[in-house]
Structure 1
Amino acid sequence: MTVLVFLDPAHDDGRIVDATQPQLMATDLGATRGDGLFESLLAVDGTPRKLDAHLRRLASSAAALDLSVPDADAWRRAISTGLREFAAAEPNRTTAAVKLLATRGVEGASQATAWVQVTPVPAATLAQREAGLRVLLLERGYDSTVAQRAPWLLIGAKTLSYAVNMAAVRYAKAHGADDVIFTSSDGKVLEGPTSTVLLAHDRDGQKTLVTPQLESGILPGTSQSALFDAAQEQGWELGYGPLEPHHLYEADAVWLISSIRLLAPVVSLDGQELRTSPALTTELSDLVERFV
């Protein structure tokens, strides 16, 4: 079941279309050049999670791309329409994956193409929260300072140009793994293709949660940010890298976190088993369920 709602000035609450029929022009720059952006978020019982944070990041990505997109209220109305339609078609599902997409539109036109997509959360995604992830370290091919030197590379914006990210995941699966953690050419830990890296230490009762530095050229994680806020209120200390691979091997636990999969433990890295902590995973997963 897929629900598509296009943001259309002639339809205040969005225009529902048939997802089984072609909807995008072949000359749309999102299709021909990957020129656009997106956001993915989880909806529970018809309510989108962290919507404000996702809309802020969408606006930030749009500014980086110099792309004019509908305003936040228009997105909110279209999301509500999509979730109502999804609930009517799938009344027994309590969760849904919501994707917001915008492209530069048809070549030569001045208006963006924008739509909301609502689908079930894949069962395989849910299973990874329980089973954990076997992960490979793969070099991304640039150093950790390039984002500051070359803003035109759009590092830190959530663009449609995900071919490299998906190629990395396919490479991991072809080599017996589930996912990837990217590293920079100067040896820093960055992020997953669709997730943020977290690690934890528990030393004499003081728990510390650490993530890579944003300045190293990663996408700001909405789930990571919300979890950090919740963990800090529960007495956790927070850290922001810089991280190198040896920090992952030395941690008491490592996770990948994202808006749809949520918190998934990393059980091995480049074939070497990592320490895992069911207790820490349970504690953080509870915070994710409540606040993320």
Structure 2
Amino acid sequence: MTTLVFLDPAHPAGRVADATVPNILVTDQGLTRGDGIFESMLAIDGEPRKIRAHLDRLAVSASTMDLLIPDAGVWQAAITTALTAYAAGAPEDSADHGASNESRQCVVRLIATRGPEGANSPTAWVTVSPVSASLAAQREKGLAVLLLERGYDSDIAARAPWLLMGAKTLSYAVNMAALRHAHHQGADDVIFTSGDGLVLEGPTSSVLLAHVSDDSGVPLKRLITPHLDTGILPGTTQGALFAAAQEAGWELGYGPLTPADLLDADAVWLISSLRLLAPVTTIDGKEIGTAAIRAELTAELSALLATTL
């Protein structure tokens, strides 16, 4: 079941539409050119998580693309309408106190396009749908990952802003092609690297690694993620986890990171708003850390992440 709500000036709280019938014009540039932006967030028990961070990132993406979109208050009203309509049509037991955490979760997507060609009228809508069961499975079993070169050097964002690096656009064909390539090779996901050999991000996730001892064996607790000036998308979930981990005594760091840093880590994760924290078991067939350490660290950090949800 998917709930659809359009942001419509004639309906301040959003206009509920039938998601099972066509609603977008075939001339909409989001369809014909991928000319648009989006955000995906998790909602639990009808409450969207990290909504301010997602709305802020949506605004940055819109500014990067010179795309005029509704303001945050209009989006929030439409999100509330969509979640209310979704809850009204959800199975009765999904709201029960004893229901599993997964059954209480749903995916909220915010989408805005440049609208029909020549109309100068952007199209914006919200959808709410169930969380894919495969995402929960990835949190449990972990991911076999391939390193793939993205094709750009790490300084491309500063040299070529028209490439829209760091904006969350609808142009995801390359990301999806990378995932299909990984699946054909028997892997689950991808970590992109730059042309000059730095670790970037996953097609739909941020990269995170941990060390629990230094080079001399002295215990420590350190989390590291690639730095943002390589043009990667700022991760809202990574940012929330870093804040919680810092309060819990973890040291935090930002790259630059190389593939060798990943292989040397005690644990590596792909982290996103929907998948949350998924441990990487292998990279290019090489095991990362040990199963016991991965499980221990994943449990600890997942508990910290849960405090932010």
Sort the TM-score into its range (normalised by shorter chain): over 0.9
Matched residues in 1 for 2:52 and 2:304: separation? 19
Give CA-to-partner distance per residue, 1:138-177, whole Å, 9 cap, x none.
Answer: 0000100000111111000000000000000011011100
Matched residues in 2 for 1:125 and 1:118: separation? 16
Give CA-to-partner distance per residue, 1:75-109, whole Å, 9 cap, x none.
Answer: 00110111111111114131000100000001111
Task: Give the structure 2 partner of residue 217 of structure 1.
Answer: 231
1:257 and 2:285 are equivalent in the alignment: no
Matched residues in 2 for 1:279 and 1:124: separation? 22
Give CA-to-partner distance per residue, 1:112-144, whole Å, 9 cap, x none.
Answer: 100001000000111100000000000000100
Moved over 3 A (4+): none
Of residues 131, 146, 149 in structure 2, which corresponds to 1:121? 131
Matched residues in 2 for 1:80 and 1:142: separation? 39
Matched residues in 1 for 2:16 and 2:131: separation? 20
Q: Describe the SS at the equivalent of 2:139.
A: helix
Matched residues in 2 for 1:231 and 1:273: separation? 25
Matched residues in 2 for 1:206 and 1:177: separation? 31
Query: Which letter maps to 1:191?
Result: E
Q: Describe the SS at the equivalent of 2:307.
A: helix
Q: How many correspondences in the alignment?
A: 292
Task: Give the structure 1 partner of residue 114 of structure 2.
Answer: 104
Task: Give the structure 2 partner of residue 21 of structure 1.
Answer: 21
Matched residues in 2 for 1:48 and 1:75: separation? 12
- Identity over aligned pairs, percent: 64
Task: Flag structure 2 segments of 5+ consecutive residues without an equivalent.
Answer: 95-102
Matched residues in 1 for 2:104 and 2:288: separation? 33
Q: Describe the SS at the equivalent of 1:291.
A: coil
Cα deviation, residue 205, structure 1: 3.4
1:89 and 2:89 are equivalent in the alignment: yes
Matched residues in 2 for 1:98 and 1:27: separation? 25
Matched residues in 1 for 2:121 and 2:77: separation? 19
Q: Describe the SS at the equivalent of 1:255.
A: strand
Task: Give the structure 2 partner of residue 206 of structure 1.
Answer: 220
1:154 and 2:171 are equivalent in the alignment: no
Give the TM-score normalised by structure 2.
Answer: 0.93
Written as runs of structure 1 = structure 2, the 5 A alignment for 1:1-292 is: 1-90=1-90, 91=92, 92=94, 93-203=103-213, 204-276=218-290, 277-292=294-309
Matched residues in 2 for 1:3 and 1:26: separation? 21
Give the TM-score normalised by structure 1.
Answer: 0.99
Matched residues in 1 for 2:248 and 2:302: separation? 13
